[in-house]
């Protein structure tokens, strides 16, 4: 059953970090940058509490080109949530396929718009935008589940960890994986 997490809003709070946020960050051992905004403080605190790593600069640039408003310090899982919750339906389908590709092909390029396989992701989006069963299956995922699929080992903040990603047994996952395998070159 899908987590009851609320949709991540596409907004940013540029007011200075509150005294409560600064105090809490200090208790966690987080040093907030000078002139940190409330969004910066929330992003750094969330990264620590969620054991999340900083989002890559290329994924952050992609997100900003897609109109996402977020702190420079946002975590990888948090940015995947924001993207998956706020992209248009067609972009969301392309992003899903892109995430499957990144994981199984161990691809470090996280900028979908400047990726060598961009046309492949776009063709997938065109084809599956009309598939209601695929879309229902895809909607069962949370954005953070697209960082990995199934159980795997990953280096998070310099430490090897076992992580549990999204299901590798859904129609959406299987369609994306089969499509990518069939079009591998």
For residue range 17-30, what is the model confidence (pLDDT) as tens digits? 999 999 999 999 99
- pLDDT, tens digit, 9 for 90 and up, residues 80-121: 999 999 999 999 999 999 999 999 998 888 888 889 999 999
Query: Of 13, 126, 148, 174, which Cα lies nearest the Cα of 76?
Result: 148
More confident position, 155 or 85? 85
Using 50, 70 and 90 to split pLDDT, how confident is the model at 4?
A: low
* Closest to 53 measured CA to CA, from 142, 157, 136: 157
Tokens of 2: 């899908």
Q: What is the pLDDT of residue 5?
A: 63
- For 30, list phi and psi in degrees, rounded to 5: -100, 130
Q: What is the pLDDT of residues 27-71, one digit of tens each?
A: 999 999 999 999 999 999 999 998 899 999 999 999 999 999 999
Alpha-carbon distances of 180 from 3, 32, 162, 183, rounded to whole Å:
28, 41, 25, 5
Res. 173: pLDDT tops 80: yes
User: At residue 134, does pLDDT exceed 50?
Assistant: yes
**Are 82 and 143 a contacting pair, CB within 8 Å?**
yes
Rounded Cα distance between 57 and 51, Å, is 19
Contact 40, 73 (CB under 8 A): yes
CA distance 122 to 98: 9
- Res. 1 pLDDT band, cuts 50 70 90: very low
| Residue 162's pLDDT band (cuts 50, 70, 90) | confident
CA–CA gap between residue 42 and residue 128 (Å, rounded): 36
Q: What is the pLDDT of residue 109?
A: 87
């Amino acid at each position: 059953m899908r987590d009851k997490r609320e949709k991540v809003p596409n907004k940013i709070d540029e007011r200075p970090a509150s005294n409560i946020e600064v105090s809490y960050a200090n208790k966690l051992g987080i040093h907030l940058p000078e002139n940190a905004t409330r969004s910066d403080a929330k992003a750094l605190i969330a990264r620590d509490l969620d054991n999340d790593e900083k989002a890559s600069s290329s994924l952050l640039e992609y997100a900003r080109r897609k109109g996402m408003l977020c702190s420079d310090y946002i975590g990888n899982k948090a940015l995947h949530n924001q993207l998956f919750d706020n992209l248009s339906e067609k972009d969301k389908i392309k992003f899903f396929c892109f995430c499957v590709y990144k994981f199984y092909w161990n691809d470090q390029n996280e900028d979908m718009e400047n990726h060598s396989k961009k046309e492949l992701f776009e063709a997938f989006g065109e084809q599956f935008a009309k598939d209601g069963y695929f879309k229902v299956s895809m909607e069962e995922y949370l954005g953070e589940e697209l960082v990995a699929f199934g159980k795997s080992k990953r280096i998070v903040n310099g430490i090897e960890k076992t992580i549990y990603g999204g299901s590798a047994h859904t129609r959406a996952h299987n369609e994306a994986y089969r499509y990518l395998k069939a079009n591998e070159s």
